Amino acid sequence: MSIEEMRKCLRLYGIRSNEMSNELIESKLSELIEQDPNKYLEKWVNNADKEINYMIEEALAKNILRKNRTNYYFGTDLIGNGLDDVIAYFKNKANSEIKATILNEIKSK
């Protein structure tokens, strides 16, 4: 697993790893895996949508997407009620332009 993948995995745990050193990233991820290996398997190994989950978490952290209770918004547009709806929204080819816009905003912030 590369350092970049480890950073993404930590983001799925809700940990901002952008400012962390590589050694701290490895240590923190190892600690989380030892505490609950099943959670790691669920969040990273067996998660076919981990890249979309990562994008959603990064967009929330950078205020590109907003979350109000279970509703997710891009600007004023409701894009899903719950994480599963948002993942389905971004998997839909008709919404690829919005997904690309969000990815570009994540890179620029």
- Structure confidence at residue 73 (pLDDT): 96
Distance CA 65, CA 69 (A): 13
Tokens for 15? 């940990």
Given a cut of 80, whether residue 109 has pLDDT beyond it is: no
Tokens for 96? 């690829």
- Structure confidence at residue 96 (pLDDT): 93
Closest CA to 21 of 35, 32, 10: 10
- Structure confidence at residue 93 (pLDDT): 94
User: What are the tens digits of pLDDT across the range 53-105?
Assistant: 999 999 999 999 999 999 999 999 999 999 999 999 999 999 999 999 999 99
**Beta strand residue intervals within 1-109, DSSP E:** 65-68, 71-74, 77-81
User: What are the tens digits of pLDDT across the range 7-30?
Assistant: 999 999 989 888 899 999 999 999
pLDDT (average), residues 38-50 = 93
pTM listed for this prediction: 0.87
Question: How far is CA 45 from its chain centroid?
Answer: 14
Distance CA 82, CA 77 (A): 14
Question: How far is CA 93 from its chain centroid?
Answer: 19
Tokens for 48? 């076919």
Q: Which domains does the chain show, CATH number per domain?
A: 1-47 (no CATH), 48-109 (3.30.250.10)
- Structure confidence at residue 62 (pLDDT): 92
- Structure confidence at residue 18 (pLDDT): 84
